[in-house]
Amino acid sequence: METSAVGGTIVTPARKRRKFPATALTWAAVTPFAAWALARVAGLERGSLPTQIMTATPYAAAGSLVPLLIAAVGRKRAATAVALLATTALGFSVLPRALGTADAATGRPLRVMTINMLFGKADVATIMKLVRDFDPDVLSTQELTPGAVSDMDAAGLKEIMPHRVLQAEWNAGGSGLYSKHPVEPLWDLMPPVGHHMPAALISVPGGKAIEFIDAHPFPPLGPQVTDWNVAMDAFPSAAADRVRIIAGDFNASLDHAALRGLLSRGYKDAADQVGAGLIPTWPANKRVPPLITIDHVLVDQRVGVQEVTVHDVPGTDHRAVLATLTVP
């Protein structure tokens, strides 16, 4: 304020500082994670993009700690409560996958290996080393081409695993089951939706034959999400009169309601059971490390799980999953 030369007083209004909209920004940070937690817990993902995004739930669970901290430091009680609920819900959805232990169940030993071969480009020498070292009873392959069949047989697979049910093709649709034990194909078990998904009865010594399905639904990309859901629903439920194992590339993680729905029909995820459920399997051999877990071995609730390991195979964007089981 100052005096004018012609009389009077000149008043300069004081500039008001704009208050930082802390409350609004806090809710802006909390709300996406709260919505994610609600969608994950209630299985609300619909359509292609939300279904794909849901695979990032483990990262969302870790990231949800940031808005919780922001709300707590800012003393925003309502936002803190919501953020805490979101973090808790996401944590309970994810953390159990890293906390399992080996099953003490006894029974017939069974080793299972599954690998998506990326149009048959997976390195045959690495696959054969895994086969010789791990000695699987069953090998489940996806994206199996006629060329890959010939190459693996030439490398010795024909002698090691002479029994097979193959539907090889020169594209992503080919699949095949290899076994050390006699097999009986079950051609009509899976409907013709998605890639080939051969199934067979495998005569494992010491008891009844087990039923095995090579899983490879279409990925939930664009309109294919409809076929993905149909395929997930088409997998048969566990049955009291037959032990069933489903192994392969499900193009789904445990954060998808469709896969959890399948598990609720009498199955358990082998990796989840032994604390290996957060080991990512795709995309392998890229500039970015594997990010999500979409390759699984699902087993009947009566099947014991001793160990699950995941291995890189050059030439393919999927990692091999090896499971050591006990079958009643």
Please choose, from the candidates 182, 218, 220, 180, the residue with its C-alpha nearest in 3D space to the C-alpha of residue 200.
182
What SS3 class is residue 284? Answer: coil
Residue spans of the chain under pLDDT 50: none
Residue 42 has a CB neighbour count (10 Å cut-off) of: 10
Predicted local distance difference test score (pLDDT) of residue 194: 84
Q: Say how far apart CA 249 and CA 264 lie, in whole Å.
A: 19
Tokens in use for 198? 């051969």
Predicted local distance difference test score (pLDDT) of residue 106: 83
Q: Say how far apart CA 271 and CA 247 lie, in whole Å.
A: 12
Residues in contact with 161: Cβ distance below 8 Å, sequence separation at least 6, in sequence order: 131, 136, 139, 178, 179, 180
Amino acid at 233: D
N-to-C CA span, the chain: 92
Residue 164 CA, chain-centre distance (Å), reads: 26
Q: Which domains does the chain have, with CATH numbers?
A: 22-97 (no CATH), 105-327 (3.60.10.10)
Q: Say how far apart CA 238 and CA 218 lie, in whole Å.
A: 22
Please choose, from the candidates 138, 113, 120, the residue with its C-alpha nearest in 3D space to the C-alpha of residue 174.
120
Task: Give the pTM.
Answer: 0.91
pLDDT tens across 102-123, in order? 987 789 999 999 999 999 999 9
By the 8 A CB rule, do 47 and 36 touch? Answer: no
Tokens in use for 98? 């890293």
| Alpha helices (H) in the chain, listed in sequence order | 22-42, 48-53, 57-63, 65-73, 77-94, 124-134, 146-154, 157-160, 224-234, 257-263, 270-273
Predicted local distance difference test score (pLDDT) of residue 152: 98
